[in-house]
Structure 1
Amino acid sequence: MPSPSGLAILGSGIFAKEALDSGVAVLRAIYSRSEKGASELAKAAQEKLSLASPPSVYYDGDAATNLDALLARDDIHAVAVALPITLQPSIVRRALAAGKHVLSEKPVAPDVASGRELISEYNTTYKPKGLVWRVAENWELEPGYHVAAKAIRDGKIGKVNSFNVRAVGHVAKDSKWYNTPWRTVPDYQGGFVLDGGVHTAAALRIILPSPMATLSGFASQNQAHLPPHDTINAVVNTVDGVHGLVELSWGAPVPSRSDEAHSGISITGQEGWISVENTGRTLRVTVHTVTKDAQGRDVGEEKTIIDEPTRGVELEFASFFKAIDGDNDGFGDPLGALRDVAFIQAGLNSNGSPVDLIQLVQG
């Protein structure tokens, strides 16, 4: 894949570890707030990428090894930022100011206002200099969601009229996702609903034939260890009048509530329907289409199943590197990621009143 000649990873958490599976080009350095976290990831990177020596290690506490020292290196041209949600915008700014291309982990910012401000600053100050900033939203690039979107564009289910989304998770106290300090005591809106819910918003952004326009819903915290919210239930309407029901919850009380929820996305049209189920390693897209006889009468249905391996992290890095090389495919656009945050923020604050999603993004 195309790549910058020098890359650094900022962060040593779950996403940073997954990034190694994408074959992250010429990895020269790793930064973490702690020496231990950076050193452990550097060792893992050496093994995973078959490097002759581990990437350089940077961490807080020493001017010679801190983030500023890393950003001052002229052999590092791009950084992948995988730090806590509330730190991301400030680190993105610092990296751009240092002249680095940036791929920052979703969400684009902890709230719409700060995301909008960051995007404006990038467009005004850094984009004209040729710097690339993309947001790493792997569901936006998952082939399975694009297969579903193409089936809709190709008319496989006729005119779309409704959709249904169910994403139910059980977050145990011993979960690797929970046992990250900034997730255990979140200092940002929504908690897991923001952190995980933007994925679902991104998938809908890819699949639906027109942008989501209005949301009315309710949010709640159902599990004491998942503040400030763990559940959103909402009704959504799109620009072209397609309406849908969305259930997002990380507050399942026991695993079976999640395992037996049949989580996924379904889109219903006048001539059939599509379901997309995420099994973790595969997205299964099932297309049901009305079949007709020679006189145009409905006589049954045809079912087609398409399995696409999940590889969004690999693809988001490839898309980022292509953009640096001047080939922009449009994915990872911070404005798209801002729309995902707006969707979650609206669900958290609606309390039953309709929220204009388009106006919320525009400010």
Structure 2
Amino acid sequence: MSSPGLAILGAGIFAKEAHLPAIATLGPAVTELKAVYSRSEKSAAALASDAQAALKLDAPPAIYHDGDQNANLDVLLARTDVIAVLVVLPITLQPSIVRKALAAGKHVLSEKPVAPDVAGGRKLIKEYESEYKPKGLIWRIAENYEIEAGYQAAATVIRDGKIGKVTSFNARVVNHVPKDSKWYKTPWRTVPDVSSIDSEINSQTAAYPHWFSCVQYQGGFLLDGGVHTIAALRVMLPSPIVSLSGYASLNMEHLPPHDTINATARSFNGTHGIVELTFGAPVPSRSTLAGNGISITGTDGWIWVDQTKITNPNGNEENVLRITTKKVVRDKDGKDIGETEEVILERVRGVELELRSFFQAIGGKDDGFGGPLGALQDVAFIEAALNSNGSPVDLVALVDG
């Protein structure tokens, strides 16, 4: 039996640097990359070439783009040997392409966030639940932090009661995004509107209107990257976050509409915490010395999760999540006499794991990861923090509409 045929929709940095290596690791027994699509032939061809090298293919996957009506997205989606698509497109475009792919009968794994805003995500989820899920189609959100082994390991430590009853949490993510950053220089981030589209595509506005829905989306990098941190909290905290009060601001002019969020939040069981997210650090040291990571404190100890690098046995450097658990030690009379430390290192490989999970779901083994509703809750946190201006926001009511 042949493995599921896959197409990648989108030819940006993450498709090349994260998804291709993950597909290569999974191997052809899990999936075969049949095609790639981008708005321009040049970018699609570049990804196809990279795919051929990364996956060691005899020939590059087929190229589809908006410059040829005989080889556009509709033609790709009509292929019967492509049963699944990986959507790695600008945030404002994702929902329309997800709908298009589902309508064509394809299983869909779409990059986070689930949608540019809660209302749009809620509508898309409702359509999927009513129209496409009953047909057996799988739609998952590629939120790699949710499935990262490191965050799952931390969740297990907490769930097993090793730090006692959780009482508080703190998440700090401070990023410095200069104008020469490869992430900043992507056109849809710097000028996410019609003017950002190159001349080749401007000439085809009438034929391919879905590319011209790009408008400035809420939060900028905060939405794109901030949902990762909220997903990690969603995995680790024993009770969901249900309310917050926060402030948002723009501190670096090149990162509109906002680049910083500071919020206090409360979980359903009364646990409370602080979330600091910024992509507007003025200098690199503000990020490197900030102490980025997530701490969760309980009655018997605390846990700290951060990302670091190690040198593996092959001599190569790789990213790992470090989970440090500190637990109080008590004598027979219950007196505190010290603390113990346990450290777990888990290699960062969430993209690989989310892809494997997706194809297992297609095969009938659903592990529950990547559900759109969880991803919608992550967007709700960011949206609420952007609009709170100090007032409490009920996240449950926001998600429910």
The TM-score, its normalising length taken from structure 2, stands at 0.89
Residue 222 (structure 1) aligned to one of 236, 248, 251: 251
> Secondary structure in 1 aligned to 2:396?
helix
Partner of 1:27: 33
- Is 1:10 the counterpart of 2:39? The answer is no
Alignment counterpart, residue 202 of structure 1, candidates 231, 234, 246: 231
CA distance in 2 between partners of 1:303 and 1:192 (Å): 35
Which residue in the other structure is 2:28 paired with? none
Amino acid at match of 1:95: A
The 2-side partners of 1:50 and 1:222 are apart by 45
Deviations 1:341-360 (A, max 9, x none): 00000000000000001110
In structure 1, the residue matched to 2:368 is 330
**Is 1:46 aligned with 2:52?**
yes
- Partner of residue 148 from structure 2, selected from 142, 148, 154: 142
Q: Which residue of 1 aligns with 2:300?
A: 271
CA distance in 2, matches of 1:3, 1:20: 20
- What SS is found at the alignment partner of 2:91? coil
Matches for 1:34-113 after TM superposition, within 5 Å: 34-113=40-119
Structure 2 unaligned runs (5+)? 25-30, 193-215, 310-318
| 2:178 alignment partner, one of 172, 183, 202 | 172
Aligned-partner Cα distance in 2 for 1:258–1:5: 41
Q: In 2, are the aligned partners of 1:4 and 1:78 still within 8 Å (CA)? A: no
Please name the residue that 1:295 is paired with: 333
TM-score (norm 1): 0.98
Which amino acid letter does the alignment assign opposite residue 7 of structure 1? L
Aligned partners of 1:5 and 1:243: how far apart in 2?
44
Q: Distance in 1 between matches of 2:94 and 2:296?
A: 34
Partner of 2:273: 244
CA distance 1:3–1:207, shift in 2 (3 Å):
farther
The answer to whether residue 394 in structure 2 is matched with residue 356 in structure 1 is yes
Partners of 1:205 and 1:14 lie apart in 2 by 27
Deviation at 1:14, TM superposition (A): 1.8
Deviations 1:146-183 (CA, angstroms, capped at 9, x unpaired): 11111111111101100011000000111111011111
Q: Which secondary structure state, in structure 1, belongs to the residue aligned with residue 179 of structure 2?
A: coil
One-letter amino acid matched to 1:158? G
Q: Which runs of 4+ in 1 moved over 4 A?
A: none
**1:229-269 deviation line (CA, Å, top 9, x unaligned):** 00000000000000001100000000000010010000011
Q: CA deviation at 1:292?
A: 1.2
> C-alpha displacement at 1:226, in angstroms?
0.2
C-alpha contact 1:266 1:275 (8 A) present in aligned 2: yes
Query: Which region of structure 1 is more displaced relative to structure 2, 336-345 or 294-303?
Result: 294-303
Q: Is the 8 A contact 1:232 1:247 kept in 2?
A: yes
Q: Specify the code of the residue in structure 1 equivalent to 2:248.
A: A
Work out whether residues 4 and 77 of structure 1, in 8 Å CA contact, stay in contact via their aligned partners in 2. Answer: no
Offset of 1:185 from its aligned partner? 2.3
Identity fraction in percent: 66
Shift of 1:3: 8.7
Opposite residue 202 of structure 1, the aligned amino acid is A
RMSD: 1.1
CA contact (8 A) 2:41 2:67 kept: no
Deviations 1:112-151 (A, max 9, x none): 0000000000000000000000000000011111111111
Hey, what's the Cα distance between the residues in 2 that align with 1:3 and 1:19?
Answer: 21
Q: Deviation string for 1:4-60 (max 9, x for gaps)?
A: 521000000122111111126200000000111110110111111011110000000
Q: CA deviation at 1:214?
A: 0.4
What amino acid is aligned across from residue 378 of structure 2 in structure 1? Answer: D
Equivalent residue of 2:180, what SS? coil
Q: In structure 2, how many angstroms separate the alpha carbons of the residues matched to 1:282 and 1:93? A: 35
Q: Find the residue that maps to 2:95 and give its secondary structure.
A: helix
- Alpha-carbon distance between aligned partners in 1 of 2:104 and 2:374, rounded to the nearest angstrom: 25
* Residues 3, 325 of structure 1: 8 Å contact kept: no
1:3–1:266 CA distance, 2 compared to 1 (3 A):
farther
